[in-house]
Amino acid sequence: MKKITLSLTIVFNVIILTLIAINFSESSIDKQSTVFGQNNNTANSNSTKYTDLFSSKAYQTCSVYTPDFCTQTIKVIHESPTTIVLTSEYSDALWQAVDMIKRDGYKMDGFNSYSAEAALSSQPSIHTTVVLSK
């Protein structure tokens, strides 16, 4: 019984540390976006259509074990009137989003996919970044 309790404690601690790391990395990205976006505030002020759309609950996936812990399936890295950069590890949702954006007159300039292993998963996931422009 002590081994099971110790194992569960270790797993719980790993999950908490992972959540803290994710939260820290997202706050770092937000700070970097603010710094890089300061020179372009006027250009980006009216171009948040996709950022708002992909931030909605419709594009979130939530944990089965902790339903309050949700992550975006598609992240908008950059959005301007002429360029959109998306990233996701959910390929089906990403390519549906690309098709939707192409209907608004954007063309895909390129994409990059890479494999990454999550801390708590034994299987790597495929992350894809897509660049579209008008």
Domain ranges of the chain: 1-42, 46-134
Name residues of the chain where pLDDT drops below 70: 1-47, 118-122
pLDDT in tens, 17-51: 455 545 545 444 443 433 334 344 433 444 478 99
Whole-model pTM: value is 0.59
In this prediction, residue 76 carries a pLDDT of 94
In this prediction, residue 29 carries a pLDDT of 45
In this prediction, residue 32 carries a pLDDT of 41
Number of H helices, E strands in the chain: 4, 6
